[in-house]
Amino acid sequence: MPSFVAEIADRLLAGSAPAVIGLDPRLDALPADLLPDGDPSERIVEFYRRTLPALAQHVPCVKPNIAFFERYGAAGFAAYEWTCRAARERGLLVIGDVKRGDIGSTASAYADGHFALADALTLHPYLGEDSVAPFLDACGVQGKSGAGGKAVFVLVRTSNPGARDFQDLELGSGRTLCDVVAEAVTRWGRELPFAEGYSPVGAVVGATWPSELERLRALLPHAWLLLPGVGAQGGTVEDLAPAFDSRGLGALVNQSRGVMQCFARDDGDWLARVEDAARTFAADCRRVATGERT
């Protein structure tokens, strides 16, 4: 299998939308008729068993956030494993939104466990380069064993209001903390195998801060940007045009609630609503990425 960055570039150049759908299972937002007597992990699995085939028709990638799974303990963790596996079996690329970050020896344990489940992972930068290095080892050239070819998305500028608290702190040099993290992301990716101009070390940049986007794009010339925050958090796809290059590559827009919670819980046609929302979201992302204006 090609590397994550080669595969995502190929799919986008072949017409796939630069769109990711976030899988954040909330029991109080599942369809009312979906195993109402099931335990949480059974209900979550059933929801994705029903929706993943529809999502795979419209987007190349999903992003399960493990918090909403491990909320239900070991059974929830098993539901996360099931969801990653089922998504990959449907041909979807999986970004495991795990936001891990620990010292080197511990980071190796996280990398081993989570890259077995997902094609790419989100990471915290606060502990510095040696905390990211074990994950970068898995982003190298793929060996015969199938290791390698993975990708990471390092948190640079997050989508929440509290992003300002530390990420915007001004350093003596006039740059902000997230600028320096962005420069580190560029450095960390430099020696790894690129595809279509992009390295396997990407960055999370919240779609809720369009005014930051051009500056961070310039600091991250070779990074895939993962852009969360569209929809419920207030970001709009239209504001994200500066994230894309002239071929429509370089960024992936994430939406979670706007697709996966777009229906009334008692709507018997909820699956059609999800598919409609995924189709519309994908079309919006494709249009903005390719520079078409409505």
Q: Which residues bind a copy of itself (CB under 8 A)?
A: 24, 65, 67-68, 70-78, 81, 99-104, 106-107, 109-110, 112-114, 116-117, 124-132, 155, 158-167, 169-172, 177, 180-181, 184, 233
User: How far is C-alpha 216 from the chain's CA centre?
Assistant: 17
C-beta closer to a copy of itself: residue 57 or 160? 160
Q: Are 257 and 228 in contact (CB under 8 A)?
A: no
Of 53, 80, 75, the C-alpha closest to 64 is 80
Q: What is the DSSP letter of 119?
A: S
C-beta closer to a copy of itself: residue 54 or 66? 66
Give the Cα-Cα-Cα angle 182, 186, 191 (nearest 5 degrees): 160
Q: To the nearest whole angstrom, how small is the minimum distance from the Cβ of residue 74 to a copy of itself? A: 4
Q: To the nearest whole angstrom, how small is the minimum distance from the Cβ of residue 207 to a copy of itself? A: 12
β-strands 19-23, 199-205 pairing: unpaired
Q: To the nearest whole angstrom, how small is the minimum distance from the Cβ of residue 67 to a copy of itself? A: 4
C-beta closer to a copy of itself: residue 233 or 290? 233
User: How far is C-alpha 125 from the chain's CA centre?
Assistant: 16
Residue ranges in 92-145 assigned as alpha helix (H): 104-115, 129-137
Q: Are 208 and 237 in contact (CB under 8 A)?
A: no
Catalytic residues: 99
Q: To the nearest whole angstrom, how small is the minimum distance from the Cβ of residue 257 to a copy of itself? A: 9
177-189 helix and 210-219 helix, angle to the nearest 10 degrees: 40
Supply 149's token pair.
């070819």
